[in-house]
């Protein structure tokens, strides 16, 4: 069965390679493994709900009504930063087109020359100079591009990410150039929220224990015990993570560079991206410009789909036209040049033997017998005049 190629317009995010998932017509971009992200949302929302249900009514009455208000503001800010980090493009670099990949391969082969059989080809590296420091650009065999400085290929999302920091399963996305500041603000605000809930949960237990005893307080507020346990075990990891990233920001360094020892290893290379000033480094990372996405996820592209010929014929039926074989009849509004063409077509139809409308024979005038003499003409005229007068 033959197939017919039908072109249709699709969004570019539907054709993007990699292991990302998209929602809301390409506006939301995440990794495919989102189970830990749902756990993060559940822990934050669940702990805050228990705090609002058990501690806030008592603390607002006996201490200050500002306590639940500040907790609500902090909770909303944490959720906003989490969703902003999880749903945004971290800085994914587009892969090379087939024509571009072929051209790059030709350049590499021309630069390396003919490699003898059995010998390993040289590494595909380009050197660039940044602030007086030589930086190597590595070739990505998956994306078919030379990665920009500080970019790396994420094995989980299967994409090259600009200024790649790490892949965080807790937010369900990579952390890179476009969402690192929101990730840091998320960890910082989550640390403050955890300390805030943990502190006022202890204050609530102490104040209730003075009036009704410690055991009776735990029986009346079972959610407080659960809050204290969750906050106690998450406090150290969240606060420690915030402190680690604060240290990296002060050096203008990424987690990937710190793990690999790019600027502190055996080569003792200096970090070319650092301004040698903590304030300048923090301002560049946290207060720098917002970089646009280079993917154009919601742009339109053309996609050719193979469809069986029978299906294509049913979906796109050919309009049938009725062909008239009768020649056109000119009237008083028909131009002279059109009359000649109509006459020619009528002649051609007659020659081909096509049926044509029968022409009615004009009535033959009645034959008047010739008169014998002029007197008969006079008599005939008199008779006609009398008939008209009658």
Catalytic residues: 168
Residue whose C-alpha is closest to residue 257's, from 107, 230, 267, 386: 267
Q: Give CA–CA dist 25/215, Å, rounded.
A: 54
Contacts (Cβ under 8 Å, ≥6 apart) of 121:
112, 115
Q: Is 92 helix (H, G, I), strand (E, B) or coil?
A: strand
Would you say 272 and 132 are in contact if contact means Cβ atoms under 8 Å apart? yes
Would you say 327 and 342 are in contact if contact means Cβ atoms under 8 Å apart? yes
Residue whose C-alpha is closest to residue 159's, from 31, 27, 14, 26: 31
Task: Give the Cα-Cα-Cα angle 257, 259, 261 (nearest 5 degrees).
Answer: 65
Would you say 161 and 180 are in contact if contact means Cβ atoms under 8 Å apart? no
Q: How many helices (H) and strands (E) does the chain have?
A: 12, 11
Q: Which helix (H) or strand (E) holds 186?
A: helix 180-212
In eight-state DSSP terms, residue 51 is I
Residue 224 Cα distances to 71, 75, 213, 298, 342, angstroms: 16, 18, 15, 46, 98
Would you say 146 and 132 are in contact if contact means Cβ atoms under 8 Å apart? no
Start-end of H helices in 214-270: 214-220, 222-251, 255-260
In eight-state DSSP terms, residue 142 is T
Phi, psi of 304 (to 5 degrees): -100, 120
Q: Give CA–CA dist 215/219, Å, rounded.
A: 6
Start-end of H helices in the chain: 35-50, 56-62, 66-86, 98-112, 180-212, 214-220, 222-251, 255-260, 278-287, 309-315, 336-352, 374-389
Residue whose C-alpha is closest to residue 250's, from 290, 288, 280: 280
């Amino acid at each position: 069965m033959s197939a017919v190629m039908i072109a249709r317009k699709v969004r570019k995010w539907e054709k993007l390679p990699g292991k990302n998932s998209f929602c809301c017509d390409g506006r939301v971009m995440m990794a495919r493994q989102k189970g830990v992200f749902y756990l993060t949302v559940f822990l934050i929302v669940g702990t805050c709900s228990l705090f609002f249900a058990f501690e806030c009514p008592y603390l607002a009455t006996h201490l200050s009504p500002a306590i639940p208000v500040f907790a609500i503001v902090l909770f909303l800010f944490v959720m906003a930063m989490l969703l902003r980090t999880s749903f945004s493009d971290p800085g994914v670099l587009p892969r090379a087109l087939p024509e571009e990949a072929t051209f790059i391969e030709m350049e590499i082969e021309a630069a390396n020359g003919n490699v003898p059989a059995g010998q390993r080809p040289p590494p595909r590296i380009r050197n660039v100079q940044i602030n007086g420091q030589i930086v190597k650009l590595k070739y990505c065999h998956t994306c078919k591009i030379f990665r920009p400085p500080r970019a790396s290929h994420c094995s989980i999302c299967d994409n090259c990410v600009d200024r790649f920091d790490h892949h965080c399963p807790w937010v369900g996305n990579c952390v890179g150039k476009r969402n690192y500041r929101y990730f840091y603000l998320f960890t910082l605000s989550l640390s403050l929220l955890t300390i805030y809930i943990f502190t006022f949960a202890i204050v609530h237990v102490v104040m209730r224990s003075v009036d009704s005893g410690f055991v009776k307080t735990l029986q009346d507020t079972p959610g407080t015990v659960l809050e204290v346990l969750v906050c106690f075990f998450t406090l150290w990891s969240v606060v420690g993570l915030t402190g680690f990233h604060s240290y990296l920001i002060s050096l203008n360094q990424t987690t990937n560079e710190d793990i690999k020892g790019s600027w502190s290893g055996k080569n003792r290379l200096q970090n070319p991206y650092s301004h040698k000033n903590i304030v300048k480094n923090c301002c560049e990372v946290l207060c720098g410009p917002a970089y646009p996405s280079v993917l154009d996820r919601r742009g339109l592209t053309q996609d050719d789909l193979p469809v069986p010929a029978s299906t294509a014929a049913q979906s796109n039926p050919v309009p049938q036209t009725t062909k008239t074989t009768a020649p056109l009849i000119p009237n008083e509004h028909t131009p002279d040049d059109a009359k000649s063409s109509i006459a020619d077509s009528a002649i051609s139809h007659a020659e081909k033997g096509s049926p044509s409308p029968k022409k009615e024979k004009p009535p033959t005038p009645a034959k008047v017998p010739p008169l014998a003499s002029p007197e008969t003409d006079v008599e005939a005229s008199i008779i006609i005049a009398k008939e008209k007068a009658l």
